[in-house]
Amino acid sequence: MSLKVRSHEPDAQGVVLDITPESAGWRYVGFKVVRLAAGQVYDGGEEGREACLVILSGIVDVTAGEECFERIGGRADVFAGPATSAYVPAGTFYSIRAASDAEVAICTAPGGGNRRPRVIAPEDVRLETRGQGTNQRFVRNILDDAGDAESLLVVEVITPGGHWSSYPPHKHDRDAWPQETFLEETYYHRLSPPQGFAFQRVYTDDRSIDEAMAVEDGDVVQVPRGYHPVGAPHGYDLYYLNVMAGPRRDWVFANDPAHEWIARGAPSGPDTGE
């Protein structure tokens, strides 16, 4: 089974992507994208699973339990600044009503329901620049490991054309805190201009997984384990929305030892002792 999942035309509920733990063959992460026409309503919520509703574009009203958040969102597309999101605790059922044409990503993971619904406004999103030169990318931490959630980690990343991201290649597939944590992950890709493409490779040390993919606008790459670098060709800026979850809500990763020298900034390759 390929790790890449393509989006499709909206179904009757507006769903264009739907990745469940069952479909992915794992335990924690769920990811869905709905595309709604103005006035259309999507209802959701699951017992035992919390949700972060990331407004990719447009304006929506969200009702979560007894809370109502009116006319939230508003960005034109995913490249136009940080998202507005709504956090929904496990066991709280919600409704998304599109006040304009809108797209919403629904990120889910296990939870016990001991939080309250809330809006995560753009000004609440911690911004970060990572890397240098053609390894530079721009990170929007919606729910990082210091954020208030039970399992979910949610982040947006902008990678300029010609740059690399999730690089040097890193992994988080061992439950070995504090050295490394086990986190399943999805990458939801968008491109500007949208006819572009990017590349992602997912591979393990023993190469039991080794899949290199050309990804296009709207594709998802599932990362059950292994390293997972991304490259954006010249001329096409890349956005991706990461969703991570695992048995411990900490993001602790390990770089591929063969490429660790890049993170250290060594000018001429790894120190081989020669």
User: What is the model's pLDDT at position 273?
Assistant: 37
Spatial strand order in the sheet of 230-231: 164-165, 230-231, 197-203, 210-216
Distance CA 120, CA 87 (A): 7
User: What is the model's pLDDT at position 269?
Assistant: 43
User: What is the model's pLDDT at position 28?
Assistant: 98
- Pair of tokens at residue 233: 């060709």
Residue type, 157: V
Q: Output phi, psi for 135, to 5 deg.
A: -105, 10
Residues 6+ apart with CB under 8 A from 105: 31, 32, 33, 53, 54, 56, 188, 241
Tell whether the torsion through CA atoms of 119, 33, 27 and 252 is positive or negative: negative
pLDDT beneath 50: ranges in the chain: 268-274
What residue has token string 């240098």? 132
User: What is the model's pLDDT at position 85?
Assistant: 98
What residue has token string 């000018």? 267
